[in-house]
């Protein structure tokens, strides 16, 4: 298991914070990371948060967050797969538990339940999972 969570936020100069929200608790992703720092410290883990400014006119994706080099979207999708363990129609979670949508300015935002963000963080720390996402690294 990796002992450092490297968070890279690629954004344009007009973005002040990642547009990523926990749909159930209302926490921003930044607030969630702050909340997890004591647990990281207790486990002897480091959090390395960096941001990278990108030009807005290059066509590069804006508001992109990578956890240990893996885009957060695929990690959230992978984490959500475990939520669909029951195949009866009444106990299946909504099909789009992770939602990616444009905000008022057109920047793409992510929204998912907090538990999926927590699972995505754990997945980004797992060596085997990271090996499966080697094309992203």
Q: What digits encode the pLDDT tens for the residues 40-99?
A: 999 999 999 999 998 877 666 778 999 999 999 999 988 887 655 555 555 555 555 888
Looking at residues 16-21, what average pLDDT do you find? 92
Output phi, psi for 50, to 5 deg: -130, 150
Q: Which helix H or strand E contains 129, and what residues bound it?
A: helix 127-132
Q: Global pTM?
A: 0.85
Give the pLDDT confidence score for residue 33 in this predicted structure.
97
Does residue 46 come out as left (phi exceeding 0), alpha (psi in the -120 to 50 range) or beta?
beta
Give the pLDDT confidence score for residue 14 in this predicted structure.
84
Give the pLDDT confidence score for residue 96 in this predicted structure.
57
| Annotated domain spans of the chain | 4-126
In percent, the amount of the chain with pLDDT more than 90 equals 54
Give the pLDDT confidence score for residue 92 in this predicted structure.
52
């Amino acid at each position: 298991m990796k002992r450092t969570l490297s968070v890279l936020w690629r954004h344009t100069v007009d973005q002040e914070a990642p547009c990523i929200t926990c749909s159930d608790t209302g926490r921003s992703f930044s607030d969630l990371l702050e909340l997890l720092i004591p647990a990281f410290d207790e486990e002897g883990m480091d959090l390395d948060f960096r941001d990278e400014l990108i030009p807005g006119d290059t066509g590069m994706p804006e508001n992109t967050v990578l956890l240990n080099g893996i885009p957060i979207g695929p990690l959230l999708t992978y984490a959500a797969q475990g939520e669909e363990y029951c195949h009866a129609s009444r106990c299946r979670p909504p099909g789009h538990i992770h939602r990616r949508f444009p905000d008022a300015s057109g920047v793409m935002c992510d929204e998912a339940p907090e538990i999926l963000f927590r699972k995505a963080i754990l997945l980004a720390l797992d060596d085997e999972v990271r090996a499966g996402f080697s094309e992203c690294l």
